[in-house]
Structure 1
Amino acid sequence: METLHGDVTVPEQPERVVALGVAAADELISLGVEPVAVAADPGTLQDNAPWLADRIAGTADADLVPLDGEPNLEAIASAGPDLIVAEAYQVQDEAVFDRLNAIAPTIAPATDAVNPDWDERLLTTAQALGRTEEAEEIIDTITAEFAEAGAAVPGIDERTYQWVRADPDGYGFGNGSLFELFGLRPAGNQDNTQTGDALSREDTAELDADLLAVWAQSDEQRAELDADPLFRDLPAVESGTVYYADLAFANAINSPAPISLRWIRDELEPVIGELG
């Protein structure tokens, strides 16, 4: 099958699949395959990925991909994989891909995007497993579930969203394109490419979307937001349509997969409902 760095021959029915990240594990489990090892720290799963923590607690191994982000070839090889599912950002370097592929066939979407769309990643994983039809059904079902939640709000397609991280000196935009699954549209300054300038605290009033999702990375940052008169005057704050994200949400929306997507939907649905 085609991957980022050329064609790879995958066993007809892989039996020992290693997932080099939580999103990859999410995809595999959603497609009915239990990975034999997952690159994740078992001690932080409840905080980082509560939607999957119980499912991968016994197979999570922080040594597979240490904090520096470089796959640990020895640890991966010791898991005895016959297929490795990598995150796209991990194999941008062809030399890294080649070293992994020498251990076992390694797959990642055939795209230059560092973080490809969730459905593209799922379809790539499904192709390696011979389960493309199942993946297409999952995509259709999840898309319909989000649309159903959004349909409860009259005129949802006229409502806007913003997704930001609160920093000491302002706000950084994150990729919030998943909000569009509900039918919302991005506010004029919502930067889903994450390549634009940050928004200064002085310009807080520009966070004027109907639904605002904001990640305050500490209790102190959250207290600062609550005490900031500029923030308190925002339309979403006054109308109760702010979603205060945490680390888990930031992880989920950055690398979504079927199980985390349903977790995201459940997290956001009450706030979506307040738009009505």
Structure 2
Amino acid sequence: MSPGRTLTCALASLVLLSACGTASEAPTNSADPFLVAIDHEFGTTTIEERPERIVTLGVTDADVVLALGVVPVGNTGFAFFETGLGPWTDDLVEGAELTHIGSDSEPNIEQIATLAPDLIIGVSAGFDASVYESLSQIAPVVARPAGVAAYTVPREDATELIATALGKPDEGAALNEATDELLAETRAAHPEFAGRTGAAVLPYEGKYGAFLAGDARGQFLVSLGFEIPEAITAQDTGESFFVEISPEEVDMLDGNVLLVLGDDEDFDVTEDSPVFDTLDVVGADAIVSTALDQRGAITYNSVLSIPYAIDRLVPRISEALA
């Protein structure tokens, strides 16, 4: 078993206690000790029974549910993976019957109803109020926190919210704590990351998307001790999770390391863009191109995928800096 798989299983095994609770917890009924009320973008949802059949509509929500010891009866996910679930979940879903739901923002309502869920989780989903109302006719629905843009709920908050909905707040806190400790240990083991600059970039349609620190992909580098180049952060208007960069502006990507998000570790982002040749990061041979699973791991940015990403990408980043 690889170190990453070991860390993933260790995090997933933190099933310590079961108790209901949240910042907006409803009074406990002696006849039914499970009663939780959760405030979110579309109102307040009361969960009156401990959920067993859970549909996860948020693209990363299934990771948290799996880490808490429950296999969703239906799930969405990013398009990197056929089932919507990354390879870091393989041990946790082995042998289980899975149902993939094609969209988090416009889901198939009839498909979800057929799954007969007793809880629908859409913390990292993009559905609107009308979809929420339709889903609520099927089962209680937990959406993202009020005032938070779709797909931008921080990992810590998403884990806490989902754990509360499942009646496992202590386990959610333990998962967050273990992930924070792992990141701290990684930074301590790699002091060469501290204060260095690094950008995570996705080539697309002849342009480049450089991810900001508020996005999971930028956050991965920041969590390791890197700083996003100032040329990128200076373009942050607060209205997007990335900065669009034209081929003529690739100097904005310059720094100590460049993480190129793609499907192939051998991909050469400089091949069709001679402008890259002027960058210090290119001269230092400090470009790291991801494989699809690595790209997916930092995009999910969950308590399960972070150990996987650390195991597979941190050694490569360290080597690139060396």
Please indicate, yes or no, whether the TM-score normalized by the shorter chain is above 0.5.
Answer: yes
- 106, 110, 121: which one aligns with 2:145: 110
Identity %: 28
1:254 and 2:299 correspond: yes
Contact 2:263–2:292, Cα closer than 8 Å, also in 1: yes
Contact 2:77–2:84, Cα closer than 8 Å, also in 1: no
Superposition deviation, residue 145 in structure 1? 0.9
> Which stretch shows the higher mean deviation, 123-132 or 238-247?
238-247
Q: How does 1:162-201 map to 2 (within 5 A)?
A: 162-174=199-211, 175=215, 176-191=218-233, 194=240, 197-201=243-247
> Which stretch shows the higher mean deviation, 233-242 or 167-176?
233-242
- SS at the partner of 2:87? coil
1:273 corresponding residue in structure 2 = 318
1:203 and 2:203 correspond: no
Q: How does 1:30-109 map to 2 (within 5 A)?
A: 30-39=67-76, 44-45=81-82, 49-53=86-90, 55-56=92-93, 58-62=96-100, 64-66=101-103, 69-91=105-127, 93-109=128-144
Superposition deviation, residue 152 in structure 1? 2.4
Contact 2:59–2:124, Cα closer than 8 Å, also in 1: no
Superposition deviation, residue 224 in structure 1? 5.7
2:267 corresponding residue in structure 1 = 222
RMSD in angstroms over aligned alpha carbons? 3.1
Give me the whole-angstrom Cα distance separating, in 2, the residues matched to 1:41 and 1:59. Answer: 19
Cα distance per residue 1:214-249 (max 9 Å; x no partner): 124689x93562354433453333434322124444
Give me the whole-angstrom Cα distance separating, in 1, the residues matched to 2:44 and 2:205. Answer: 45
1:237 and 2:282 correspond: yes
- SS at the partner of 1:190? helix
Contact 1:37–1:59, Cα closer than 8 Å, also in 2: no
Superposition deviation, residue 212 in structure 1? 1.0
Give me the whole-angstrom Cα distance separating, in 2, the residues matched to 1:268 and 1:242. Answer: 12
Q: How does 1:19-38 map to 2 (within 5 A)?
A: 19-38=56-75
> Which stretch shows the higher mean deviation, 99-108 or 45-54?
45-54
Q: Which amino acid aligns with 1:202?
A: E
Change (3 A) 1:4 1:41: closer
Cα distance per residue 1:100-157 (max 9 Å; x no partner): 1110111122133211111111111011012111111211211121221122233533
1:126 corresponding residue in structure 2 = 163
Cα distance per residue 1:191-212 (max 9 Å; x no partner): 5754665222223233212121
Give me the whole-angstrom Cα distance separating, in 2, the residues matched to 1:217 and 1:253. Answer: 13
Change (3 A) 1:70 1:136: same
**Aligned positions, number:** 272
Give me the whole-angstrom Cα distance separating, in 2, the residues matched to 1:237 and 1:47. Answer: 34
1:7 corresponding residue in structure 2 = 44
Give me the whole-angstrom Cα distance separating, in 2, the residues matched to 1:98 and 1:47. Answer: 24
Give me the whole-angstrom Cα distance separating, in 1, the residues matched to 2:79 and 2:228. Answer: 35
Structure 2: segments with no counterpart, 5+ residues: 1-37
Superposition deviation, residue 166 in structure 1? 1.3
Contact 2:259–2:288, Cα closer than 8 Å, also in 1: yes
Give me the whole-angstrom Cα distance separating, in 1, the residues matched to 2:178 and 2:193. Answer: 20
